[in-house]
Amino acid sequence: MDALVVSKCNKLSGKINLYGAKNAILPILAACVLTSDEVQLCGCPHLSDIDDMLAIIASIGGKVSFNRGQISVCCKAINPYTIDHALMRKIRSSVFILGPLLSRCGEAEIALPGGCEIGQRPIDLHLGGLKILGVDVEESPYKNTVRCKGRPRGGIVRLKYPSVGATENLMMAAAIGTQKTVIYGAAKEPEIVDLAMFLNTLGARVFGAGTDLIVVEGKGRLHGARYKPVPDRIVAGTYMAAVGVVGGDVYIEGAIGDHLDAALHKFRIMGLDIEEEQRGIRVRQNGRVKAVKQTVTLPYPGFATDLQPLLVAALCGAEGESVVTETLFENRFRYVYQLQRMGADVILDGCNSAIIKGKSLFGADVYAQDLRGGAALVIAALSADGQSTVSGVEYIDRGYQSLSDELNSLGANIKRLTLK
Ligand code: EPZ
């Protein structure tokens, strides 16, 4: 267990180079199972979720390596029945491997996925879609496993909710084969578009990604590729929120404004000066930010649920009252109790809205309980009088390549301690 000791910081200034998006790289890694050729990915951050996904691929016989941002995966010969169930239970994205395994091998037995406990996070939409594509699905609730038989054939899937993971799993399940699959009600996140671009780089035929109607025409065999995943919009939004917390002038190289429209709109209402440039985004802030009356998280292009904790952290010091409503996950406000320990005036109205009255915070010992909530505690602590200790850094390591080092490069004073 590691902890971060965060001292008060007056402002952040300097430049951050964005790396590839965790939520693009994880499905792309799963998609490497679709080809027996080598795939090389560049610009990838060292994150524990990526390490875990690579270990899962290695457990079915894939050859993997990860060195200085370059990932190589070669799934020449794989055995779906040697998959490591314990590893699958560690991360949510392990479920993404189901579609590619069925597409490539026609059978698989997986453990139900794990991941941040921000809600119940079932996989009924994934399994329901695979059944429509002709896969025989047998769930074992007691063993928490799912056994599937049969190569997905073409079909029409209507998702009742634009699930990111279900959309990605079904795109990959349909990528090899000879028939056409249509996904209505698909998710539209930039990471979905990136996965489609990657699949097409392998020789697949995926159309309509980024809209709610995606068509996949199966291709008999896919080949290898070199690919650079899309920059991480959630990491970019994290640093913008951090500038909202303590002020300063930060340039985020690689940030793409179009991927953050809803967030930029809110940050601008708060008073942040945001300049979208050719190769990145510059964020400046001087003095206290303003409150934002109402924010509701929605599937893309709405305000991203993954930035909800970071927005709340920035609003804790704002002038006035803000309300933030979470509509995707039923348990994504646990970090609020930790913000209260720092003196934040945030109360939960029922279980899906936070009411925030801005005030100054003081240092406290707090605990990360999930990835984005943990990051929110760190940036909130930057403004707190005195020192704060944020435990549970392993949650933060799942999605940030050393958040503390990067914030220190911008002028923060954060020390990482290894506790017993
Ligand atoms: C992806 O999770 C991201 N993770 C999440 O990021 C992100 O918060 C989420 O999409 C929404 O944008 C990865 O890409 C690895 P969903 P995913 O399926 O695919 C319900 C982070 O911090 N649902 O769109 O699991 C589900 O319970 C993580 O980087 C079903 O009911 O999200 C949730 O309420 C956190 N049945 C809602 O849909 C299903 O079969 C959205 O889930 C699937 C989902």
Task: Quote the CATH superfamily of domain 2-18+231-418.
Answer: Enolpyruvate transferase domain (3.65.10.10)
Q: Which atom number of ligand 1 is nearest to the Cα of residue 127?
A: 40
Ligand 1 within 6 A of 165 CB?
Answer: yes
Domain ranges of the chain: 2-18+231-418, 22-227
What is the C-alpha to C-alpha distance for residues 314 and 383, in angstroms, rounded to an integer?
A: 10
Closest C-alpha residue for ligand 1 atom 28: 306
Given pLDDT bands bounded at 50, 70 and 90, which one contains residue 319? very high
Q: Which CATH superfamily is domain 22-227 in?
A: Enolpyruvate transferase domain (3.65.10.10)
Query: Would 2-18+231-418 and 22-227 be classified into the same CATH topology?
Result: yes
At 144, is the pLDDT very low, low, confident or very high (cuts 50, 70, 90)?
confident
- 239 pLDDT above the threshold of 80: yes
pLDDT at 113 over 90: no
Residue 116 has pLDDT above 80, yes or no: no
Does 305 sit in the ligand 1 pocket, CB within 6 Å? yes
Query: Is residue 376 scored above 80 in pLDDT?
Result: yes
pLDDT at 270: 98
pLDDT digits (tens, 9 = 90+) for 322-375: 999 999 999 999 999 999 999 999 999 987 999 999 999 999 999 999 999 999
Q: How far is the centre of ligand 1, averaged over its atoms, from the C-alpha of 49 (Å)?
A: 15
Q: Tell me what pLDDT residue 148 has.
A: 94
How many other CB atoms sit within 10 Å of the CB of residue 396?
A: 26
pLDDT reading at 118 higher than 90? no
**Ligand 1 proximity of 157 Cβ (cutoff 6 Å):** no
Please state, for a pLDDT cut of 90, what percent of the chain lies above it.
91
Positions marked catalytic = 116
pLDDT number for residue 252: 98
Give residue-wise pLDDT tens across range 244-275.
999 999 999 999 999 999 999 999 999 999 99
pLDDT band, very low/low/confident/very high, at 220 (cuts 50, 70, 90): confident
Pocket flag, ligand 1, residue 307 (CB < 6 Å): no
pTM of the model: 0.97
pLDDT tier, 131 (very low <50, low <70, confident <90, very high otherwise): very high
